[in-house]
Structure 1
């Protein structure tokens, strides 16, 4: 299992660092399933800091469903359906990695409360990094210039956030 996690990290971390793109991942359905599982588990882990496990599973499932709906629609609209497997694998795998980075930071901020100081700024930096990674993946998946892809990533974040607030507020 440890070697599988190492492989997962080695494949996705360079994408999180903006050094590689989704096209550098193998087009493997098993890797996509693993990325989906990792994304789901990491999302539940983060949400359980503030809600029950059942609610965390519901919220993470919603987030995953949004990704599984929006990304195929985007690729279909751009005529890039052939890139779907690698793109979804990259999106979900990178989300899992960023969630695993988010979890200890969120836990620390919650634990420290008013004494967290400037740590919440790291949350903002992680959020910006996440949107940048999405833009980077969009750039490669859609063959768009980076500014356009980043603008779409911001729009997708706002859409996801708005839907999330509408349903779970």
Structure 2
């Protein structure tokens, strides 16, 4: 599998020009996207929640995201879309996190953030919500208002789940 066959659709995902169906169907690629997302997010977790185990948080969040996606696809009758949809969500997260990581590391902890840092974080959050909504809307074949509700449950539910289980 060529790199351009993967990179171009992922760039298309984060620019809202491609969908999960444009990615190759590959469980190996899905696993690589999950692992890459985990590696990229370890420094962010260590910086913003230094008293927690980043690997526990990442493992819980990955499990939540995969279970949420599997259940949503199953309920809609689109179970076979799981691998490409999961790959899309994790690969897009990896790319957005790669762009955001230097910014977040420069901004500092949320309680120390400047107005510019807070605005930058907000822009990254809105971008992430737009991309996840774009992916879930395509994967679940939903209309925009409904897919946005699912997207917010996916994103903020994951954070709540991790905090509830890990206490962080």
Instruction: Give me the TM-score of the superposition, normalised by structure 2.
Output: 0.87
Gaps of 5+ in 1: none
Shift of 1:163: 1.6
Correspondence for 2:54 among 37, 53, 56: 56
Correspondence for 1:82 among 80, 83, 88: 80
Distance 1:85 1:56, change over 3 A: same
Equivalent runs, 1:58-137 vs 2, <5 Å: 58-110=56-108, 116-137=114-135
Shift of 1:66: 0.8
Instruction: Give me the TM-score of the superposition, normalised by structure 1.
Output: 0.87
Shift of 1:76: 0.5
Q: Is the 8 A contact 2:6 2:23 kept in 1?
A: no
Shift of 1:12: 0.8
Secondary structure (helix, strand or coil) at the match of 1:135 reads helix
Q: Is the 8 A contact 2:65 2:154 kept in 1?
A: no
Aligned CA RMSD, in angstroms, stands at 2.3
Shift of 1:141: 0.6
Gaps of 5+ in 2: none
Partner of 1:33: 31
Number of residues of Structure 1 aligned to a counterpart in Structure 2:
165
